[in-house]
Chain A
Amino acid sequence: MLQWRLKAYRHWQTLTPPRWAHLNYPDIDYQSIIYYSAPKSKKDGPKDLSEVDPKLLETYKKLGIPLHEQGRLAGVAVDAVFDSVSVATTFKEKLSEAGVIFCPFSEAVQKHPELIEKYLGTVVPYRDNFFAALNSAVFSDGSFVYIPKGVRCPMELSTYFRINAANTGQFERTLIIAEENSHVSYLEGCTAPMRDENQLHAAVVELIALDHAEIKYSTVQNWYPGDEEGRGGIFNFVTKRGACRGQRSKISWTQIETGSAITWKYPSVILQGDNSVGEFYSVALTNHRQQADTGTKMIHIGKNTRSTIISKGISAGFGQNTYRGLVRILPTATDARNYTQCDSLLLSQTCGAHTFPYIEAKNSSAHIEHEASTSKIGEDQLFYCRQRGISAEDAVSMIVNGFCKKVFNELPMEFAVEAQKLLEVSLEGSIG
């Protein structure tokens, strides 16, 4: 482990930060970041939830992420990563009955070293990119999930990340392994309190699906976006990738990105196994001075592999929203199919929407469809709603939610409701 980290660190030192994204931000001083931060009470550690910062619980509640009783009712297991240390993992027993391992990464390194060794860095190697190398060198915790052969995980797994201390970077690492014929649905939620300075979040998520396995990974990201003038906010530079290693395996990414000053992430799927399926459903919203450069990569290697990309970008205020996607069909991927739909909605005169779709087909049997649209929220639609008695604010949120419907439909029920609310909150005061 240490050797691997050191290699990653040395490699990182040789790299320069990428500049190709459609983003504007000052250089980050990587020396001034605190790479490990633990909650103050760490010495005795929060023994149970009553010792957790009430503000954290309040945010959980607001986001509808249920812990203790609420959790029991909704059947959700939560692993909370508070700064960099995992503070509470619920439902461990019920999960272990099913043979599912769901624990903080640090614990997995101790208890399941063989799995970590076998899979860590096999989807996102430390050499992959600048931020992945940085993460590999310095990550301190994260989540680990292992679903054994033939097991359907009995509940939604949920992790909750929060950056609390000033000047802290968060570098968590998530590794999910789904063995043959298994199934898991995983949700992560993210928030951070207000800070004037920028904070860095550079996570790596690796998913591995073997034969007939299915992984559904949903994200509701609401990191602090900075204020209206663009001061402060999280720099969210995340590498997420899944490998459909087995036949007929399936990996599905759903993301609702409403927070962060800058979002840079491309949850991708490598479709290695024959007949495997990759999906990417995304809503990205940028308001005020937020910038997002997000999308996906679908790499088709196996035969009859299929991928679907539905991306909905919403820009308001001075927000800049970029979709960047790659569909690559390799020579081995006979009869591969891709469908991409990429829509942008503009809510102000000063925001921007950009689309950079890349398509590389090296097998002539491939079917690739791409649809894209950009529209301004219609004065006609607004007036129509208002004439029916619906206020302008409600009308905007209704129209925006309608625009995102296809993506919300992919979220687990209780989080779909939350995602709608989040959009409403993020858009407050954005019309006029």
Chain B
Amino acid sequence: MLVIDNLHASIEDEKQKTKLILRGINLHVKPGEVHAIMGPNGSGKSTLANILAGRPEYQINLGSVQFDRQDLLSMEPEERAAAGVFLAFQYPVEIPGVNNTYFLKAAVNSIRKQRNLPPLDAIDFLALVKAKIKEVGMDEKFLNRAVNEGFSGGEKKRNEILQMLMLEPRLAILDETDSGLDIDALQAVAKGVNSLRDPKRSIIVVTHYQRLLDYIVPDVVHVMVKGQIIKSGNKELALELEAKGYGWLESLQA
């Protein structure tokens, strides 16, 4: 489903100096798999997640990304969304004055339109969103508030998962969705993600901590350090990292 080949990417800092962040990422995610990407701060995990979603400020220096045999990097962010790529943001953005339901409906119908499907009417949409909001344990009153405005950290993350459930992506990328969550919110997020697990759907979980992986059990765990994946293994690797930290792996860097 997703094939990342030798991906190098950089960003311009405030002094307009180019900073290389990804230094040759290779990753192959098959349909139905859940991959966890772990690693210390500044290793490039979030950059990778954002590049897959199409954030414009990064530069691709080398390498390629194929999604369903399409060249993902040449697509606009909204085309990627329509193709089924979803990013749960580390820091969800507030959009003052824009009603949450309105936003969700615009997103769902915009993606349906790009897929040549008829739009959902107001009644079908409302029934769907009310069912999904229960799954993530949010009060319906959040539907009538402005997108993320004044939401707590946990509410914002639940709202991300609500959007994910509504959009039913084929590749869901969770960028540190667990950071700053209490145990209830963490479980609600995990429950939402697990309900999407499906032989045709892939999930990439970017996280610092093993904790989330107790609830979302990954098929493969990767360790990323300084812009490269230096070790991959099964879920036991996450436990090992938790016990030993990342230091012992850094010698493996190419």
CB within 8 Å of B: which residues of A? 378-381, 383-392, 394, 398-399, 401-406
**Which partner residue on chain B sits nearest A390 by CB separation?**
B110
Q: How many B residues face the partner with a CB closer than 8 A?
A: 30
Q: Contacts A386-B54, A402-B146: A391 and B78 contacting too (C-beta < 8 A)?
A: yes
- Which one of A388, A392, A402 lies within 8 Å of B96 (CB-CB)? A402
Chain A nearest CB: distance from B150 CB in Å? 14
* 14 examples of A-B residue contacts, CB within 8 angstroms: A378-B93, A379-B57, A383-B77, A386-B76, A387-B77, A387-B80, A388-B111, A390-B106, A392-B78, A398-B98, A398-B103, A398-B106, A402-B96, A405-B96
**Is A386's CB under 8 angstroms from B78's CB?**
yes
Q: A387-B54, A389-B81 are in contact. List 15 more A-B contacts (CB 8 A).
A: A380-B93, A383-B54, A387-B53, A387-B78, A388-B107, A388-B110, A389-B78, A389-B111, A391-B78, A398-B98, A398-B103, A401-B98, A402-B97, A402-B146, A405-B98
CB within 8 Å of A: which residues of B? 53-57, 76-78, 80-82, 86-87, 89, 92-93, 95-98, 103, 106-108, 110-111, 114, 146, 163, 167
**Is A379's CB under 8 angstroms from B163's CB?**
no
**Which partner residue on chain B sits nearest A381 by CB separation?**
B93
- Chain A residues, CB < 8 A from B163: 388
- Chain B residues, CB < 8 A from A387: 53-54, 77-78, 80-81, 86-87, 89
**Is B110's CB under 8 angstroms from A391's CB?**
yes
- Chain B residues, CB < 8 A from A406: 97
**Is A403's CB under 8 angstroms from B93's CB?**
no
Chain A nearest CB: distance from B52 CB in Å? 10
- Chain B residues, CB < 8 A from A390: 78, 106-107, 110
**Which partner residue on chain B sits nearest A409 by CB separation?**
B97
- Chain A residues, CB < 8 A from B86: 387
In the docked arrangement, what's the CA distance between A392 and B77, Å?
Answer: 9
**Is A379's CB under 8 angstroms from B98's CB?**
no
Chain A nearest CB: distance from B112 CB in Å? 9
- Chain B residues, CB < 8 A from A404: 97
**Which partner residue on chain B sits nearest A386 by CB separation?**
B77
- Chain A residues, CB < 8 A from B103: 385, 388, 398
Chain A nearest CB: distance from B57 CB in Å? 7
**Is B57's CB under 8 angstroms from A384's CB?**
no
In the docked arrangement, what's the CA distance between A380 and B95, Å?
Answer: 10
- Chain A residues, CB < 8 A from B57: 379
Which one of B92, B107, B114 has the highest number of Cβ atoms from chain A below 10 Å of its Cβ?
Answer: B107
**Which partner residue on chain A sits nearest B81 by CB separation?**
A389
**Which partner residue on chain A sits nearest B109 by CB separation?**
A389
**Is A389's CB under 8 angstroms from B56's CB?**
no
Q: Contacts A384-B92, A388-B163: A379 and B110 contacting too (C-beta < 8 A)?
A: no
Chain B nearest CB: distance from A40 CB in Å? 45
The 7 closest A-B CB pairs, nearest first, are A402-B97, A405-B97, A402-B98, A389-B81, A389-B111, A388-B107, A386-B77
Chain B nearest CB: distance from A384 CB in Å? 4
